Chains A and B, each alone.
Chain A
Amino acid sequence: MIGRLLALLQARNMEFLRDRSSLGWNIAFPVLLVLGLALIFSDGERAIFKVGLLTETSLEQLDHPFLDDPHIEFFTVSDEQRATRKVRLHKIDLLLDPASPGRYWVNRQSQKGHFLEIQLLASTPTPPQRVEVDGQPVRLIDWLMPGILGMNMMFSCLFGVGYVVVRYRKSGFLKRLNATPTRAIEFLTAQILSRLLLIMVLTAAVFMGTNLILDFRMEGSYLLLFVTATLGAMALISMGLMISARVSSEELAGGLLNFVTWPMMVLSDVFFSMEGSHPAMVSLARLLPLTQLMQASRAIMLDGAGWLEVMPQLLAMATMTAIFLLLGAWLFRWRGD
């Protein structure tokens, strides 16, 4: 069994690596996208000042002279730990506990925080207690980077595996393999391993290459990020195999693959966050493997999340992989007719 699996794996790898145009595009597409977006959003400082108010009281019931400034966006937060982390990440420019005399948190590396601090101190005769936090801002490109790599993995895994299996079936290559002692599980495993190997090497290369230029934020463990990406890729590859399990028309395969990739493009936090969307949409998004991959990888890269914090996403991706694979193996046909 291992001999057959390795033979199929090696043949598929050679086929992929020698298809220069396809290989080139697999590398060029994410690099171009990352660099292009980095260029577009290079002056992406938000114009508006955002101040979080650490209180259980609603905004309308609060009475503080600082709140009268119309150029500042105020909102209430209740979790101090989460709110201060957002100050560290520059997601909130200043955090104020409006109780008397109160406290405020400001990031000494935030220009907007500095101006807000001056404004705050000028607005009240009893200055609140200053708490200084430290942390580099999360640039938009830092937030987008996992999305771009995840999107590229999604297209590569789904189309790379789905189309190839359909092409093999349509051309009769699968029928020829079926005439040998090869079993479906051997063929499918070889396809998964081949794509997994190639996508992980390519994604790691693109990550490291673009990181040299853009110096992405990476707060967490590289090992955990690698495991997360591997599980995400496996879930996506298994999804591609399930979709292509018995299709022999490339047009139909293209339609089905688009049917699953586009909802993931929109709902899986690739280019924008679904936070605050309708709960039904958020629940639907959680059923998609790319959402799990995005949430876990951003938590690791931007917030420094550890194994326990991303365990729900890791388990979700492992479960999806198992379900897609079982369904794919059950549905699989060597021939299309």
Chain B
Amino acid sequence: MSHIIEVNQLVKQYSDVTAVNDISFAVPSGHCFGLLGPNGAGKTTTIELLEGLTPATQGTILYKGAPLGKQFRQEAGIQFQSTALQDFLTVGESLKLFHRLYDQRAQLDEVIELCDLRSLLKRDNRKLSGGQRQRLLLAIALVNDPKILFLDEPTTGLDPQARRNFWELINRIKAADKTILLTTHYMEEAATLCDQLIIMDHGKIIAEGTPDNLLNHHFRDVIVQLPSTLLADPLPPSLPAQLFSRSDLVELTTDNVDQLIATLIEMEVPLEQLRVRSRTLEDLFLQLTGKELRA
């Protein structure tokens, strides 16, 4: 498997903060690679180092085996967390402006179709909704037909429907065999889009792999949920499960669901509202760091 980006012992030190602390990883070509972590974990700093916009304190970043150079600028598409565009320009004019800044360009019509912007071309940039604006910024990141696409928390602030529409769009871009490097603090987004991911906290990588491998590696159990009124606190010692969390719902972890359910039946606990769910990346992050991902 060839790697389009290789990162070795990367460090970014600000005056009294180490934002990125000696991380190494490689991004395979054609994959969607996720950087997952809570706010302040170092995701944005890492992606800006990879984009060549921030100089590293230490370490190396190679693009196609060579340091980032002019060619990288031509071949990279970038969508920042937030970007202002020029006032008084329409969607179409903004796209044309960025399209003309590159030597190698995509067919603008195809980008417009892909991002579903046809009906918005004459609309002022400032009059777009959150989802429309993100689609425009993504289209701007695609105008040079990039080999690698950097997306920094592209769905933050979008409503659930707009977020799902955006995921659909990313999947269409993935199908075009482009490499995508995505940061997010939404586990569902990472699980849906990423072929491979690293989880960061305090500037360090605390886990890496495919979403399935990560979950399989760290968890062999599942979570059983019941209304907390149905189970006494503390739990009866005979229950073959551990308490995971308790609020309105009580969550139990077990690697033997059959035995747990049998015991609950023996205890005459009503099971109408019982639910079983698999472990998620959120659980993994909680286990690895002791805190919630969106904290």
- Is A173's CB under 8 angstroms from B74's CB? no
In the complex, A276 has a CB within 8 A of chain B = no
In the complex the two chains form, what is the Cα distance from A138 to B229 in whole Å?
97
In the complex the two chains form, what is the Cα distance from A113 to B56 in whole Å?
78
In the complex the two chains form, what is the Cα distance from A175 to B52 in whole Å?
11
In the complex, A15 has a CB within 8 A of chain B = yes
Which listed residue, B53, B82, B84, B85, touches A178 by the CB 8 Å rule? Answer: B53
Given the known A-B contacts A180-B73, A181-B102, are A11 and B97 also in contact in the complex, defined by CB atoms under 8 Å?
A: yes
- Is A180's CB under 8 angstroms from B84's CB? no
In the complex the two chains form, what is the Cα distance from A288 to B234 in whole Å?
82
In the complex the two chains form, what is the Cα distance from A19 to B140 in whole Å?
23
In the complex the two chains form, what is the Cα distance from A71 to B103 in whole Å?
77
- Is B101's CB under 8 angstroms from A18's CB? no
Which listed residue, A3, A14, A180, A335, touches B98 by the CB 8 Å rule? Answer: A180
Q: How many residues of A contact B (CB 8 A)?
A: 25
In the complex, B76 has a CB within 8 A of chain A = yes
- Is B100's CB under 8 angstroms from A7's CB? yes
In the complex the two chains form, what is the Cα distance from A329 to B112 in whole Å?
35
Segment of B87-95, B153-161, B175-183, B273-281 engaged in the interface with chain A: B87-95
- Nearest to A176 among chain B residues (CB) is B83
- Is B84's CB under 8 angstroms from A11's CB? no
CB distance from B180 to the nearest CB of A (A): 16
Q: Which residues of A contact B247 (CB under 8 A)?
A: none
Mark contacts of A310-337 with chain B using CB atoms, 8 A cut-off: 1 yes-contact digit, 0 otherwise.
Answer: 0000000000000000000000000100
Determine chain A's interface SS by DSSP, over half rule: helix
In the complex, B70 has a CB within 8 A of chain A = yes
- Is B101's CB under 8 angstroms from A182's CB? yes
- Is A175's CB under 8 angstroms from B101's CB? no
- Is B101's CB under 8 angstroms from A180's CB? yes
In the complex the two chains form, what is the Cα distance from A307 to B70 in whole Å?
45
- Is A171's CB under 8 angstroms from B84's CB? yes
Mark contacts of A7-48 with chain B using CB atoms, 8 A cut-off: 1 yes-contact digit, 0 otherwise.
Answer: 110111011001100000000000000000000000000000
- Is A175's CB under 8 angstroms from B88's CB? no
CB distance from B94 to the nearest CB of A (A): 8
Given the known A-B contacts A172-B80, A172-B83, A180-B98, are A11 and B103 also in contact in the complex, defined by CB atoms under 8 Å?
A: no
CB distance from B272 to the nearest CB of A (A): 52
Using a CB-CB cutoff of 8 Å, which residues 172-193 of chain A contact chain B? 172-173, 175-182
In the complex, A64 has a CB within 8 A of chain B = no
- Is A176's CB under 8 angstroms from B80's CB? yes
Which listed residue, B70, B73, B76, B93, touches A11 by the CB 8 Å rule? Answer: B93
- Is B84's CB under 8 angstroms from A179's CB? no
CB distance from A254 to the nearest CB of B (A): 19
CB distance from A189 to the nearest CB of B (A): 14
In the complex the two chains form, what is the Cα distance from A4 to B143 in whole Å?
14
Which listed residue, A10, A168, A180, touches B102 by the CB 8 Å rule? Answer: A180
- Is B86's CB under 8 angstroms from A15's CB? yes
Q: Which residues of B contact A179 (CB under 8 A)?
A: 51, 53, 73, 76, 78, 80
Given the known A-B contacts A11-B89, A14-B89, A14-B93, are A173 and B101 also in contact in the complex, defined by CB atoms under 8 Å?
A: no
Q: Which residues of B contact A19 (CB under 8 A)?
A: 87-88
19 contacts between A and B (CB under 8 A): A4-B100, A4-B101, A7-B101, A11-B93, A11-B97, A14-B89, A15-B86, A19-B87, A173-B83, A173-B84, A175-B80, A176-B80, A176-B85, A176-B140, A177-B101, A179-B51, A179-B76, A180-B98, A181-B103
3 closest Cβ pairs, A-B complex: A171-B84, A7-B100, A18-B88
| Interface residues of B, Cβ cutoff 8 Å to A | 51, 53, 70, 73-74, 76, 78, 80, 82-89, 93, 96-98, 100-103, 140, 144
| New A-B pairs, 19, CB < 8 Å, besides A172-B80, A175-B83 | A4-B101, A6-B100, A7-B100, A7-B101, A8-B101, A11-B86, A11-B93, A14-B88, A14-B89, A19-B88, A171-B84, A173-B85, A173-B86, A175-B53, A178-B53, A179-B53, A180-B98, A181-B73, A181-B102
